[in-house]
Structure 1
Amino acid sequence: MLVLAFDTATAAVTVALYDWSPGEGVRRRGIAENVDRRRHTELLAPSIARVMAEAGAAPGELSAIAVGVGPGPYTGLRVGLVTARAMGEALRVPVHGVCTLDVIAWASGRDAPFAVATDARRKEVYWARYESAAVRSSGPAVGPPADVLAGVPEGTLPVIGEGAALYPDVLGGSGQDPTPLLPTAAALAQLAVARLSGGSGPELLPPEPLYMRRPDAKEPGPRKKVTPR
């Protein structure tokens, strides 16, 4: 089983190719990592092509595509989803969505309760709480950083992700390590392979965006009538 994974829901434009077989287990074939909030479109397709070429794999060999579905800002998120859907249709392979917060949680490997928070701009974060790296207990949601720890005794729930680094006074905790800050396609691919091979882990989703709020851009309304003088 050969799985191509990528995520553009945050500042990270991340691509990975992993395969799995009953005899050999999970094996990484290629990876490309970039962090650039403004160049998702320019970076994603070349990164996919480079990872496939370096692995010596042809698109027709893919068994599945896994894509981060957010939550995340509208512009970056749609780049990954449109690309995944187009490739899936062209290659006739299934496309699976994964919550981007679940990807960060999975990469942490934590086995005790914690929360993940990423940058939602407007002085807000996207967030979710977890019982462990593989089990989400609430969310995803969007709101002020204080929402992440609302109702939780102080110092009892560590927070990881870029949101914790951006708002350390609210989410930082004393001496807390907020890493991983951003999702990686390596973790996304590993999560997808785990689920597709019959293992446990966060739920695979349809390749539909988790926007959580309306996009900043709006369609123009009807033109105002001008009354001649």
Structure 2
Amino acid sequence: MSRLILAIDTATPAVTAGVVRLGDDVELLAEQVTVDPRAHAERLTPNIVAALDDAGVAAGELDAVVVGCGPGPFTGLRVGMATAAAFGHALGIPVRGVCSLDAIAVGTAGDVLVVTDARRREVYWARYRDGVRIDGPAVNAAADVPVGAAAVAGSPEHTALFDLPRLAPVYPSATGLVAAVADWDSEPEPLVPLYLRRPDAKPSAGAR
């Protein structure tokens, strides 16, 4: 039995929405990606609408939603996860969250480090063996990341910080997000954002 799945990720500067058919394999029907770290809220819904239109799929035909849960910045993750939850609630379909770094690592072979921008001169990272996470996710300065890998994938400006061969995956893709789901038959776990650190905003002293 095949499933039609809406895949969303806003954990990186890429605002990704795609429609995937999951059967014996993972087939991309359509994908819309806008790379702009300040456009998550503005571009996600238009990208979803465009992906559905390009795929020739009505929202009511969807069987599930998959969303990247980070690690990523507070604002970006909130946009993606809230939108995914809203679609799931409105359509009465399950919403499954995955680690966004896992979606980048899908299909890689050997020992691979995946890194994305954590700002503040830090990176979000995780290590994989044949696409399976063996360490992380965590956030560190690049110099403090325990590399232990033969290659690196992820955002180009941050993979360049590591003296390793660079692989093609840069951002989470719709097919990677769907392939990162470990079990399609179990009840979905609650969505939990992987912030890995506190938001920048702090309550004022007068609010106590």
TM-score, with structure 1 as normaliser = 0.81
Which of residues 141, 149, 170 in structure 1 aligns to 2:138?
A: 141
SS of match in other structure, 1:180 = coil
Shift of 1:197: 7.2
- Unaligned runs of 5+ residues in structure 2 are none
- Aligned partner of 1:42 in structure 2 is 42
Q: Which amino acid aligns with 2:88?
A: G
Spell out, residue by residue over 1:19-58, the C-alpha distance to the aligned partner (whole angstroms, 9 max, x if none). 1345xx4432211111000010010001111111222222
Q: Establish whether residue 120 from structure 1 lines up as the match of residue 122 from structure 2.
A: no
Shift of 1:195: 4.0
- Greater radius of gyration (CA): 1
Q: Which amino acid aligns with 1:141?
A: A
Partner Cα separation in structure 2 for residue 52 and residue 21 of structure 1: 18
Shift of 1:205: 5.4
> Residues 193-212 of structure 1 correspond to what in structure 2 (within 5 A)?
195-196=183-184, 206-212=190-196
Contact 1:128 1:138 in 2 (8 A): yes
SS of match in other structure, 1:118 = strand
Contact 1:172 1:178 in 2 (8 A): no
- Aligned partner of 1:201 in structure 2 is none
Q: Which amino acid aligns with 1:7?
A: D
Change (3 A) 1:205 1:125: farther
Contact 1:17 1:189 in 2 (8 A): no
Spell out, residue by residue over 1:92-130, the C-alpha distance to the aligned partner (whole angstroms, 9 max, x if none). 111000101101101xx2221111111100010100111
Partner Cα separation in structure 1 for residue 130 and residue 34 of structure 2: 27
Spell out, residue by residue over 1:119-144, the C-alpha distance to the aligned partner (whole angstroms, 9 max, x if none). 100010100111111x1101100011
- Aligned partner of 1:187 in structure 2 is 176
Contact 1:19 1:28 in 2 (8 A): yes
SS of match in other structure, 1:121 = coil
> Residues 39-118 of structure 1 correspond to what in structure 2 (within 5 A)?
39-106=39-106, 109-118=107-116
- Aligned partner of 2:151 in structure 1 is 158
Change (3 A) 1:219 1:20: same
SS of match in other structure, 1:16 = strand
Change (3 A) 1:147 1:44: same
Contact 2:26 2:178 in 1 (8 A): no
Shift of 1:186: 2.8
SS of match in other structure, 2:49 = helix
- Aligned partner of 1:14 in structure 2 is 16
Shift of 1:160: 1.6
Change (3 A) 1:84 1:48: same
RMSD: 2.3
Q: Which amino acid aligns with 1:186?
A: T
Q: Establish whether residue 222 from structure 1 lines up as the match of residue 203 from structure 2.
A: no
Partner Cα separation in structure 1 for residue 140 and residue 170 of structure 2: 18
Q: Which amino acid aligns with 1:142?
A: V
TM-score, with structure 2 as normaliser = 0.89
- Tell me the percent identity: 45
SS of match in other structure, 2:54 = helix
Change (3 A) 1:47 1:143: same
